[in-house]
Amino acid sequence: MNQYKLYIGGEFIKTDQKLSVFNPYDNVLVGETYIAGKEQLEKAIEKALLVKKQMRDLASWQKYKILNEIADKISAKKDDLALLLAKEAGKPLKYALSEIDRAVQVFKIAAEESKRLPKEYFSIDWTPAGDGKEGFVKYFPIGLISGIAPFNFPLNLAVHKIAPAIASGNPIILKPARSTPLSVLELAKIIDETDLPKGAFSVLPMDREAGSQLVTDERIHMLSFTGSPEVGWKMKANAGKKKVALELGGNAGVVVSDISDIDLAVKKCVVGSFAYSGQVCIHVQRIYVHENIFDEFINKFVEGTKKMKFGAPEDLNTDVSVMIDEENAMRVESWVKEAVEDGAEILIGGKRKGTYFEPTVITSTKKEMKVCALEVFGPVVSIEKFTNFSEAIKNINDSDYGLQAGVFTNQINEMNEALNELEVGGIIINDVPTFRVDHMPYGGVKNSGFGREGIKYSILEMLEPKLLVKNTDY
């Protein structure tokens, strides 16, 4: 069993409050770390402020070198990190391995983007008032950033804040989820070995008071939060003058048109529905299938679901494992039950054993049911039929959320309609909404978020433009 100290700007420290992390699959202790209070946060803030100028003045090649070095070191520890991540999050090893690969990818892309920060150069003399002048915009780091990361991608969603912060020349203080702080503390050890100025990065699981200061403290210039909508939107109101980026959840939908590849759609949707027990912001929660192919789709989908192999997260063959805790498993169970009582039909699954909830397919749902209307964040998907494409689009839109959507079709006009009418941040044609590569812009509309991540896009949000107007004929 491992001890993990907190990482405060170059120092590994302990506090009075211990935090034990257990594997949700077998309740075995994975590791122990500490909870930071206001005192530790204050230290982290002060250290960060001290290196602000130094961070701003790093040359491109220095940031590039640091970020690539982190990527290489993560890569070298891939197996250990994946196992740790699998255990603390109960995430099947195959997905944990892919998460490590993605974290490596994020640091590499951030390295490349650090050399390509936006800069503008344009003519000012559009009217005689601007005669003999030219304009330049140089983007400077916005200042100290606080990042708050969720349990479901303990490493990669933290890395989506850390890597852009370094690339843009900002110090960052990261608060991981209490249930899954270990892999990012392991990352701290890696980062500590690089030339990143000490103070530019801290990782602190926090108590409530410190956590709330992360939101309100005016010395922090940006808050980047990934988590639940309820918590996120409240933070926006309390954030004072700082910029806020919110990556929240959703109830992502898929449309399967009659002119499309059914087998592809089934294969992608089964994985999109049940991977990591649906504990993914863009998990497939609602599928709308054209009536002509509905029965075939349902049959094939249930068959596909049966093949999902349950097991321990550490096992490379496991497709589905447990949920993060029993509380969540019980919540999902009760939502499904409520739906069934209100007329929904379970096609497969529906049972809970401790923290495990079976991959569950339901139909005959109503849109007001919690399993449809709220973010289920569990291995539950509803499949319903539609008659015409526009109706399916409306079904997807009939939601408070709007993160991503998938559309299986081979028709140009349906693709156009999807792009124009779907109220979401991203539309994936012939793939599930669960599709994400790390350099694409990612984020939701409506209740699902505020701003975009995806390295280049995060970097842009972490920069402040400064205009220089200069004479040219002086």
According to DSSP, residue 196 is labeled S
Q: Near a second copy by CB under 8 A, which window of 12-20, 53-61, 176-184, 357-365?
A: 53-61
Return the number of the residue (351 or 470) whose C-beta is nearest a second copy. 470
Of the pair 160, 243, the CB lying nearest a second copy is at 243
Backbone angles phi, psi at 133, to 5 degrees: -125, 150
DSSP 186: H
Q: Can you read off the two tokens belonging to residue 196?
A: 């990143």
Query: First-to-last CA distance in the chain?
Result: 69
Distance CA 273, CA 287 (A): 10
Interface with a second copy includes 94 (CB under 8 A)? no
Residue 105 found at the interface with a second copy (CB under 8 A): yes
By beta-carbon proximity to a second copy, the closer residue of 246 and 324 is 246
**In 3D, which of 63, 155, 151, 78 has the Cα closest to residue 109?**
63
3-class secondary-structure state, position 194: coil
Q: Report the nearest approach of a second copy to the CB of residue 293 (Å).
A: 17
- Which residues in the 207-266 window bind a second copy by CB under 8 A? 233, 236-238, 240-241, 243
Question: What Å distances lie between residue 416 and 259, 265, 398, CA to CA?
Answer: 15, 19, 19
Stretch that binds a second copy, among 59-67, 145-153, 189-197, 287-295 (CB under 8 A): 59-67
Facing residues of 243 across strands? 222
Is 76 near a second copy (CB under 8 A)? no
Q: Which residues contact 438 (CB under 8 A, 6 or more apart)?
A: 102, 105, 106, 109, 156, 160, 454, 455
Contact region with a second copy (CB under 8 A), list: 191-199, 330-338, 384-392, 427-435: 427-435
The helix or strand, by DSSP H or E, that contains position 157, with its residue range, turns out to be helix 156-167
In the bound complex, what is the minimum distance in angstroms from residue 423's beta carbon to a second copy? Answer: 9
Catalytic residue, from 69, 113, 186, 247: name it: 247
- CB 429 to a second copy: min, Å: 5
Q: 28 vs 259, which CB is nearer to a second copy?
A: 259
> How far is it, in rounded angstroms, from Cα 254 to Cα 408?
8
- Check residue 55 for interaction with a second copy (CB under 8 A): no
* 55-63, 289-297, 304-312, 345-353 -> range binding a second copy (CB under 8 A): 55-63
Joined tokens for residue 421: 């009418």
**Residue 410, interface with a second copy (CB under 8 A)?**
yes
Site membership for a second copy, residue 283 (CB under 8 A)? no
439 binds a second copy per the rule CB under 8 A: yes
Q: Is 262 helix (H, G, I), strand (E, B) or coil?
A: helix
Candidate residues 119, 309, 367, 394; the one interacting with a second copy per rule CB under 8 A = 119
Which residues, numbered 153-182, are part of the site for a second copy (CB under 8 A)?
Answer: none
In the numeric block, which tokens belong to residue 138? 């140089």
Distance CA 140, CA 160 (A): 19
- For 285, what's the count of Cα atoms within 13 Å in the CB-facing half-sphere? 30
Of positions 202, 279, 452, 462, contacts a second copy by CB under 8 A:
452
The reply on whether position 133 binds a second copy by CB under 8 A is yes
Q: What are φ and ψ of residue 141, in 5° steps?
A: -60, 140
Minimal distance, residue 114 CB to a second copy, in Å: 9
In angstroms, what is the minimal distance from the CB of 187 to a second copy?
Answer: 20
Any catalytic annotation for residue 269? Answer: no
Which tokens is 393 given? 């689009």
Q: Tell the smallest beta-carbon distance from residue 87 to a second copy (Å).
A: 24
Applying CB under 8 A, which part among 174-182, 310-318, 325-333, 438-446 lies near a second copy? 438-446
Please pick, from the candidates 427, 459, 462, 463, the single residue that binds a second copy as defined by CB under 8 A: 427
| Residues touching a second copy, count (CB under 8 A) | 78
Task: Please state the closest distance from residue 61 (CB atom) to a second copy, in A.
Answer: 5
If one asks whether residue 385 binds a second copy (CB under 8 A), the answer comes out as: no
Report if residue 1 touches a second copy, rule: CB under 8 A.
Answer: no
Q: In angstroms, what is the C-alpha Rg of the chain?
A: 23
Which residues lie closer than 8 Å to 72 by C-beta, 6 or more apart? none
**Per CB under 8 A, does 120 bind a second copy?**
yes
**Which of 28, 59, 76, 316 is the binder for a second copy (CB under 8 A)?**
59
Q: Is 372 a catalytic residue?
A: no
Q: Which of 14, 38, 367, 470 binds a second copy (CB under 8 A)?
A: 470
- Rounded-to-integer distance, Cα 252 and Cα 282, Å: 6
> Per-residue DSSP letters for 363-387?
ES--TTSHHHHS---SSEEEEEEES
Tell me which stretch binds a second copy (CB under 8 A): 136-144, 172-180, 189-197, 281-289: 136-144
User: Cα–Cα distance between 399 and 446 in angstroms, integer?
Assistant: 9
H/E stretch holding 229 reads helix 229-238
Give whichever of 223 and 424 is closer to a second copy, judged by the CB atom: 424
Q: How far is CA 375 from CA 111, 226, 271, in A?
A: 34, 15, 18
Segment near a second copy (CB under 8 A), from 60-68, 156-164, 305-313, 329-337? 60-68
Out of 281, 358, 414, 461, pick the active-site residue. 281
Catalytic annotation, residues: 247, 281
